[in-house]
Amino acid sequence: MKYRTIGTDPATRREVSVLALGAMLFGSRTDEETSFAVLDRYVEAGGNFIDTSDNYAFWEDGGQGGQSEELLGRWRRSRGVGDEIFIATKLGARPLAPGTSYVDNAEGLSAKVIRESAERSRERLGVSRLDLLYAHIEDHRVPLQETVEGFAELVSEGTVGLLGASNHAIWRVERARALAAAAGLPGYEVLQYAHSHLRPRTDVPGDLFPDGSLGHAGPDLLSYLRAEPGLTLVAYSPLLKGAYTRPDRLPPDFDHPGTPARLKVLGEVAKETGATVNQVVLAWQIGADLPIVPLVGMSSLAQLDENLAAVDLELTREQRARLDAAH
Ligand SMILES: NC(=O)c1ccc[n+]([C@@H]2O[C@H](COP(=O)([O-])OP(=O)(O)OC[C@H]3O[C@@H](n4cnc5c(N)ncnc54)[C@H](OP(=O)(O)O)[C@@H]3O)[C@@H](O)[C@H]2O)c1
């Protein structure tokens, strides 16, 4: 395994494995036995960066989520896991009632929700401190100042380590970080966005974001990362939920001329290296000149083994240039 540092403050920054494990479907679609087996082998291989959320996976059973955090809590207890394993979670997008969704009934990012939901996450995970807590989606009903202060209070009390944001317009991230900096408070240091080698159209309006998807890492985010070297991008859905091997899973916003061009180069590099396309995508992210940590979901040990091997796949400068340029 290889490691990189996330966060800048010597008191809270951590060394995490360059491949993060997504536990979104653990305890719901992925049964407990398989989930524990994947977690155990990931840790055996040196992995220490696990991702969950207080709303995972509410859509699987029409509830409010929490199964993933609960499963991780049981796994931690049964294996005697301590501080060496870094678990990130999120709040803000938990539906307020069973049968509803974050689209129109999310808990949001008020100071009260931040305090109470973080406490519930700590209980489910069985930890005294959340290593990394993200604002999962934006909340335009609450003043940003309140959200910034709410998160910072938990850091100063020691119940949260690092702070992060996911699926936010970059101008909102920058505004929140500027408010925090001006007040001498800790701000978001880890940004979690969908990012893969294939690029989606981002101008297609969605339920949540009428101006187009804010969940994807676009040029504004990449330029922000370049300008702020202390930030880390955690790239979610890097394997496009399995679409590289099952093209029927490719969402409609990938239906544009850039997709076949990128798939062609991915296939060529896979052939040259003897690796799989999935491994080339992950290695391309891990070795990028920007700090990117791919965050992959896996439902079997075979998938885990394939994905772990990407950590040791070194692409040449020329292969990387071809992958970057394909469009
Ligand atoms: N911040 C957010 O809003 C947000 C949103 C989505 C996800 N996430 C996080 O990101 C993590 C990963 O996202 P994701 O599950 O959406 O996408 P992903 O990692 O791109 O895809 C995971 C799925 O891809 C398939 N897969 C994985 N490795 C494979 C391999 N080597 N060969 C073939 N298929 C493979 C599996 O599908 P099958 O199980 O069907 O075989 C697996 O469940 C989640 O667990 C969650 O922690 C965050």
Return per-residue pLDDT of the chain as tens, 327 residues.
999 999 999 988 999 999 999 999 999 999 999 999 999 999 999 999 999 999 999 999 999 999 999 999 999 999 999 999 999 999 999 999 999 999 889 999 999 999 999 999 999 999 999 999 999 999 999 999 999 999 999 999 999 999 999 999 999 999 999 999 999 999 999 999 999 999 998 777 765 666 777 788 999 999 999 999 999 999 999 999 999 999 999 988 899 999 999 999 999 999 999 999 999 999 999 999 999 999 999 999 999 999 999 999 999 999 999 999 999
Nearest atom, ligand 1, residue 30 CA: 39
Query: What amino acid is encoded at 3 in this protein?
Result: Y
Could you tell me which residues come within 8 angstroms of residue 190 by beta carbon, excluding any fewer than 6 positions away? 6, 7, 88, 132, 134, 162, 163, 164, 165, 231, 232, 234
Does this model's pTM top 0.95? Answer: yes
Residue located nearest, by CA, to atom 44 of ligand 1 = 22
- CB-based contacts of 243-251 (< 8 A; 24+ apart in sequence): 243/198, 244/277, 244/278, 244/281, 245/277, 245/278, 250/198, 251/200
Residue located nearest, by CA, to atom 17 of ligand 1 = 237
Which residue among 208, 214, 237 has the greatest number of ligand 1 atoms within 8 angstroms of its CB, and so is best to mutate? 237
**How many whole angstroms from 174 Cα to the centroid of ligand 1?**
28
What does 273-295 look like in DSSP terms, one character per residue? HT--HHHHHHHHHHTSSS-EEEE
Q: In the prediction, which pLDDT does 50 show?
A: 98
DSSP state of 35: H
Closest CA to 87 of 45, 57, 47, 44: 47
Which residue among 19, 21, 24 has the greatest number of ligand 1 atoms within 8 angstroms of its CB, and so is best to mutate? 24
Q: Rounded CA gap, 265 and 270, in Å?
A: 8
For helices 258-273 and 317-325, angle between their N-to-C axes, nearest 10 degrees = 160
Residue located nearest, by CA, to atom 10 of ligand 1 = 236
Q: In the prediction, which pLDDT does 205 show?
A: 72
Residue located nearest, by CA, to atom 29 of ligand 1 = 303
Q: In the prediction, which pLDDT does 210 show?
A: 67
142 lines ligand 1 (CB under 6 A): no
**How many whole angstroms from 43 Cα to the centroid of ligand 1?**
18
- Which parts of the chain are beta strand (E)? 3-6, 14-17, 20-22, 49-51, 86-91, 130-135, 160-166, 190-194, 232-236, 292-297
Q: In the prediction, which pLDDT does 208 show?
A: 61
**How many whole angstroms from 320 Cα to the centroid of ligand 1?**
23
